[in-house]
Amino acid sequence: MIWLRTAFLAIAWAILSLIVHASVGAPWGYIVMIGALTVILLWRAVRMQRVAQWARQPESTPPLSVGRWDDILAPLYRYTRTQARDIEAGREAMKSMLAAAQALPDGAVTLNAELQIDWANRMAQEHLGVRLPADRGHNILNLVRSPEFSAYAHQAEWPEPILVRVTRGHHDHLLMMQLTAYARDHRLLVTRDVTQIEKLETTRRDFVANVSHELRTPLTVLAGFLETLRDMPKEALSDEQREQYMALMTEQALRMQSIVADLLTLSTLESSPSAEPQRVRMSPLIEAARQQSEALSAGRHTFSWDIDPELDVLGAEPEISSAVANLLTNAVRYTPDGGAIAVRWTREGNGARYAVKDSGIGIASRHISRLTERFYRVDRGRSRAVGGTGLGLAITKHIAMRHDAELDIQSEVGKGSTFSLVFPAERLAETESPL
């Protein structure tokens, strides 16, 4: 105990002074007493100074051997150390929480009761254009200028999110926004960009509408003929007329069959994973497509072939065969009689190119980027007349993607087109060494 030690020291010095006083005489007793007191005071002043110095930076190590101060400084130092550690841990937790909030895929903005911005993460900057620290204290309604959002923000509660269309740069975005109250009088605004989801939903709706439309025409024709055949007395129709009706009905039924078959192919390509790539022998595969297209052309076109027999690819044979044949039959169908079709399967750089060049009707540049959309046709009537479904290039593009290949389209109206499949080096099969 500090007071006990101090009292003990004072008594010890008093006794020593009394002994000196009794044995040597009074002045020496006082001298010893005063001298001792001076030394003690000086010594204490030095220690006090070291303690005072430490107190200015209590997180540093406390001075050693400062006598009785040790008993005070040690617990104090332990306390400040624990405090400093707690503060550091709190700071780290705060930092990691802020980093997590920054990394959120959604936008987050904290607001006060007056809807003034307090803090926002990076995504909120992207979604709403909030810039910190410049926008701190600004009302969120100045950034999101939408009457619907303003009405929503002034509601007492926000059980549901709201969809708000905002313009960023030159693009429109659809944001899903949700306000939530937290702490006392604070609001958290969470934003999510749902533009892509909306686009997918529109594509899905358009697709269903397109399929219905495509099937409705042949079905209407078919139903019309069936009705005529049912309602007309047998003798009112000549055999020739009946034959004609039957032929037209068969044509429409086949048309529906091709559409359904192409739709099934597309859906299989979209939903099934790619099979383990196998070596696909291109030369016989192109030969089969050649026979098919020359039969379709029936001598109306001149063909030329430049096929590298050594060049094979790694992939799925039925898929590549379908893509190769599709580009060839399109060339035949969209090239008027007397036209020329040139087919090449050759090396190009480290990869290879399958190119079908025709001298056909050609395609205006504004259509080219849309040709691989489902049911997109430059001339609907013409496509129908040649038995097209509008799905061939969509299927071909899908197949190309599954083989890391590119579908390249070059065309000029009235001059002709070149449709190519460009395979990268990784998709080429090593030439088999002769035994």
Residues of this chain that bind ligand ADP (CB under 6 A): 330-331, 334, 358, 360-361, 363, 371, 377-379, 383, 388-394, 417
Checking 128-132 for CB contacts under 8 A at 24+ apart, the result is 128/166, 128/175, 128/191, 129/168
Least distance to ligand ADP from the beta carbon of 120, Å?
A: 46
Candidates 257, 285, 253; CA nearest to 399 is 285
In the numeric block, the tokens 């750089």 are attached to: 349
Specify the residue, 273 or 381, whose C-beta has the smaller distance to ligand ADP. 381
Shortest distance in whole angstroms from residue 282 CB to ligand ADP: 20
Backbone angles phi, psi at 129, to 5 degrees: 80, 25
Question: CB-wise, 190 or 331, nearer to ligand ADP?
Answer: 331
Closest contact distance (angstroms) between CB of 356 and ligand ADP is 7
If the CB atoms of residues 127 and 402 are measured against ligand ADP, the closer one turns out to be 402
Minimal distance in Å, beta carbon 179 to ligand ADP? 47
Q: Which is nearer to ligand ADP, 108 or 332 (CB)?
A: 332
CB of residue 335 to ligand ADP, shortest distance in Å: 7
Which stretches of 57-146 are DSSP H helices? 69-103, 122-128, 140-143
Shortest spacing between CB 272 and ligand ADP, in angstroms: 21
118 and 110 Cβ atoms separated by less than 8 Å: yes
**Strand 313-315 vs strand 117-120: parallel, antiparallel, or unpaired?**
unpaired
DSSP string, 408-429: EEEEETTTEEEEEEEE-GGGBP
Positive/negative CA dihedral, 86, 90, 91, 95: positive
- Closest CB to ligand ADP among 135 and 358? 358
CB 365 within 8 A of CB 378: no
Q: Which one, 153 or 331, has the nearer CB to ligand ADP?
A: 331
Least Å distance, CB 377 to ligand ADP, is: 3
CA 321/CA 290 separation, integer angstroms: 11
Q: Decide: 330 and 297 in contact? Cβ < 8 Å.
A: no
- On whether the CB atoms of residues 118 and 136 are closer than 8 A, the answer is yes
Smaller CB separation from ligand ADP, 62 or 392: 392
Rounded distance between C-alpha atoms, residue 122 and residue 8, angstroms = 68
Q: How many Å apart are CA 378 and CA 236, to the nearest integer?
A: 41
State the minimum distance, in angstroms, from the CB of residue 292 to ligand ADP. 15
CB nearer ligand ADP, residue 191 or residue 335: 335
